Amino acid sequence: MAKNTSDYVGGDTQLIVVTDAGMEAVDQEQVDMLEERVEAFNNALAKLVLDLPDTSILQSEFLASLKKFQKLVMQVRDSYLGHLVGRSLYRAFYDKEWKGDIPSRHSRRTH
């Protein structure tokens, strides 16, 4: 979002994962894929926000848009989870230095 709204932000996005085991840069291909997913989500969310107060849209049409948005959100999430699992399996088999992804090493905390 910052790239689209600021003259001072640009270039390739870089992600660094910091854990107890150290720091690791996320490869650019994965960063690009994450940015594409975020852009698709943001575009769909913006459309939904604009449609929400539009009284010219029938309730049935709005409900259809809402269901389409829900489907997109689930596809983005499924894609992310599938990619994460595939990447983790690959690294578990072929990268002897790899100590696991953050989600696989830390349980979800409840407060």
pTM of the full predicted structure?
0.63
Whether residue 111 lies inside any domain: the answer is no
Per-residue confidence (pLDDT) for residue 104, from 0 to 100 = 44
Whether residue 95 lies inside any domain: the answer is yes
Per-residue confidence (pLDDT) for residue 101, from 0 to 100 = 61
Which of left, alpha, beta for 65 (phi over 0: left; psi -120 to 50: alpha)? alpha
> Per the structure, how many domains does the chain have?
1
Tell me which of 20-24, 94-98, 104-108 is least confident.
104-108
Whether residue 106 lies inside any domain: the answer is no
Per-residue confidence (pLDDT) for residue 106, from 0 to 100 = 42
Per-residue confidence (pLDDT) for residue 88, from 0 to 100 = 75
pLDDT tens per residue across span 27-76: 888 888 888 888 889 999 999 999 999 999 999 999 999 999 999 999 88
Whether residue 84 lies inside any domain: the answer is yes
Whether residue 77 lies inside any domain: the answer is yes
Q: Which domain holds residue 23?
A: 14-101
